[in-house]
């Protein structure tokens, strides 16, 4: 299976949950911090950084990894 390249031109700003806890009823991870549910999408890295700096949000920048594409043919599954 090969993953597609669609929707990779976005930059996402996510808040980090300050206080993750385990819900005693269901056993799920939960938090009182509603910022953990917020994801903001930006069309460029510069816009995301500018927004974070303007709103005094501390951030870690995670650059996307360079994809290494290995072309294979169907017959390669049977040759060894």
Reported confidence tier of residue 49, pLDDT bands at 50, 70, 90: very high
| Cβ(61)–Cβ(67) below 8 Å | no
* Pair of tokens at residue 7: 């929707």
At residue 46, the pLDDT reads 93
At residue 47, the pLDDT reads 93
Helix (H, G, I), strand (E, B) or coil at 26: coil
Reported confidence tier of residue 65, pLDDT bands at 50, 70, 90: confident
- In this predicted structure, the answer to whether residue 1 has a pLDDT above a threshold of 60 is no
Reported confidence tier of residue 7, pLDDT bands at 50, 70, 90: low
Mean pLDDT, to the nearest integer, of 44-51? 92
């Amino acid at each position: 299976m090969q993953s597609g390249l669609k929707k990779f031109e976005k930059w996402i700003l996510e808040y980090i949950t300050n206080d993750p806890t385990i819900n005693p009823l269901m056993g799920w991870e939960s938090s009182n911090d509603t910022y953990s549910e917020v994801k903001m999408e930006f069309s460029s890295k510069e816009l995301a950084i500018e927004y974070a700096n303007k709103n005094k949000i501390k951030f870690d920048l995670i650059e996307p990894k360079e994809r290494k594409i290995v072309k294979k043919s169907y017959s390669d599954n049977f040759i060894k």
